[in-house]
Amino acid sequence: MTSVYATGRRKTATARVTMTPGSGKVTVNGMPADKYFGRAVHILILNQPFEVTETLEQFDIVARCDGGGKSGQAGAMRHGIARCLNNADRDTYRPTLKKAGHLTRDARMVERKKYGQPGARKKFQFSKR
């Protein structure tokens, strides 16, 4: 296996992920992942596909993240990494990734603001008189 490419999405974030065999180094937008994200939770999120497939520290990841916030980008990277693993060895990794739910794109998005009210669900204060 040389390198595998996949795209992951979450909310409004997109992650273009390239995976190569290596020592487990993760680079996001030219920076180490722990420095880019800053929170340990985000590192745990993007390592989930590796933990499920027991391939931690076997692949190097180079990712380009755009849009959304750090949380959405971490989720997008998880989706992209899962897709990379799936493309690399479909027979071995697909059943475990599918069962863990990492191959399914999380479709939850922010609800749009409606006219005549201050937010998506919130209403202006009602006054009877």
Buried b (16+ CB within 10 A) or exposed e, 65-94: beebebbbbbbbbbbbbbbbbbebeeeebb
Q: What is the CATH number of the domain that holds 17?
A: 3.30.230.10
β-strand partners of 87: none
pTM tops 0.85, yes or no: yes
Domain count of the chain?
Answer: 1
Do the beta carbons of residue 82 and residue 15 sit within 8 Å?
no
From the centroid of its chain, how far is CA 83?
Answer: 10
Q: Kindly report, residue by residue over 41-100, the tens digit of the pLDDT.
A: 999 999 999 999 999 999 999 999 999 999 999 999 999 999 999 999 999 999 999 999
Cα-based distances in Å from 73 to 55, 76, 78, 91: 21, 5, 9, 28
Q: Is residue 119 part of a domain?
A: no
Q: Is residue 50 part of a domain?
A: yes
Q: Is residue 15 part of a domain?
A: yes
Q: Is residue 118 part of a domain?
A: no
